[in-house]
Homo-oligomer: A and B are copies of this chain.
Amino acid sequence: MNVVMKFGGSSVATIEKIQNVADIIIRKKKEASNIVVVVSAMGKTTNELISLSKQISKRPDTRELDQLMSTGEMVSASLLSMALIEKGHDAISMTGNKAGFRTKGIHTKSKIEDVKTKNLDQALSEGKVVVVAGFQGINERGDITTFGRGGSDTSAVALAAKLGFDCEIYTDVEGIYSVDPRRYKEAKKLDVLSFDEVMEMAHLGAKVIEPRSVELAKKYNVKVYIALNTADKKGTLITDGGNVLEKNVINNISVIEDVLLVSFNAHKKKLSDIFLKLAQRNINVDVISQSEETISFTSTNENEDIIAELFEEENISYNFRRDLSKVSVIGNAMRSQPGVAASVFKIFSENEIEFYQVSTSEISISYIIDKDKVDDVIRILAQEFNL
């Protein structure tokens, strides 16, 4: 077995935690022929570096910001490699550049174009554990770039894809649950999920793994295993699906909070103009629905003032419904079982739960409801679908 193991910032936040991670890697070495480790920056290092730069400029030069931020992962990679060496195991750390990450696109949000694995292959052939600084590479000008939010997950999946290794992402939760355990205590840890389900969950509010890295995993069919960073409990495997996934109708309930429902009346010819102006003001517009002359869309509470200002400028009457949540039920099997949407509707109706909007995708149904109804809805749905 060959594996890329990824450890996030909270897993390497202190020297003691770095030592624990080293022990987990050493245990893994007994079963794995080749191990590449990807690490994030220690604890809150990245935020601290960004905060330093913000003292200099409200909008720091992004090329410089990339070079600044990249140091966080270099520090944790060096320290973890030192810890492995100190414990008697041959190891070597590599910057994103040295590990061969070539990127394109803009600074702070670069995309991985390729991974030139020559240095990695060499070190692995010498029996070394390679510890790679995540979240970073270099672009065609040789400048250091970073990958944005969840960048180290993306580094790990890209390496696994390129090397043909499995991918294990260690984090501070035990895996992926049917419902966020902080919301619903009886939530079940899921053994296996499909790429599509996890992407849908991430988009619909579940804080599990960046959709971007799952997308990459799907593209190259890299199995991704998500587990607690103590590596002593069974986690969740994300794969391309298959029969095992069809058994459950619904695998997960995810929630997005602080939803604002905006309703307004406008002539159709003015509609595109309004949505263009919302976009220019960086207002995220989620689900749009229409009945006769009334248009509704959802956004987030924090955008209330800007949206109000726009409608007043345009002299359009509008209405806000605040403190809403978006509850989504997600399951790969919805594709093949068309009755699911109907049965969810039935549950809402039987339990007299009012909803203001509903939207569906191929594998999910989302409801906009009052915030204070969310816990009830989760309980009812979880019991109904055995989550």
Binary flags per residue of A75-105, CB closer than 8 Å to B gives 1, else 0: 1011101110110000011010010000000
User: What's the dominant secondary structure at chain A's contact region?
Assistant: helix
- Docked pose: A53 CA to B53 CA in angstroms: 26
> Does A276 sit at the interface, judged by CB under 8 A?
no
**Contact partner, A74, options B68, B85, B92, Cβ 8 Å:** B68
**29 CB-based A-B contacts, threshold 8 Å:** A15-B52, A19-B56, A49-B75, A52-B75, A52-B79, A53-B78, A53-B82, A57-B82, A57-B83, A57-B85, A61-B81, A61-B82, A61-B85, A61-B86, A64-B79, A64-B82, A64-B93, A67-B74, A67-B77, A67-B78, A67-B95, A68-B74, A68-B78, A68-B82, A70-B74, A71-B71, A71-B75, A98-B142, A98-B143
Within 8 A of B (CB), among A223-243: none
B71 touches A74 (CB 8 A): yes
Q: How many copies does the complex hold?
A: 2
Chain B residues lying within 8 Å of A15, measured Cβ to Cβ, are 52, 55-56
CB distance from A58 to the nearest CB of B (A): 9
* Closest residue on chain B to residue A81 by CB atoms: B64
- Docked pose: A34 CA to B161 CA in angstroms: 46
> Does A204 sit at the interface, judged by CB under 8 A?
no
Q: Which 5 A-B pairs have the closest CB atoms?
A: A71-B71, A68-B78, A57-B86, A15-B55, A64-B78
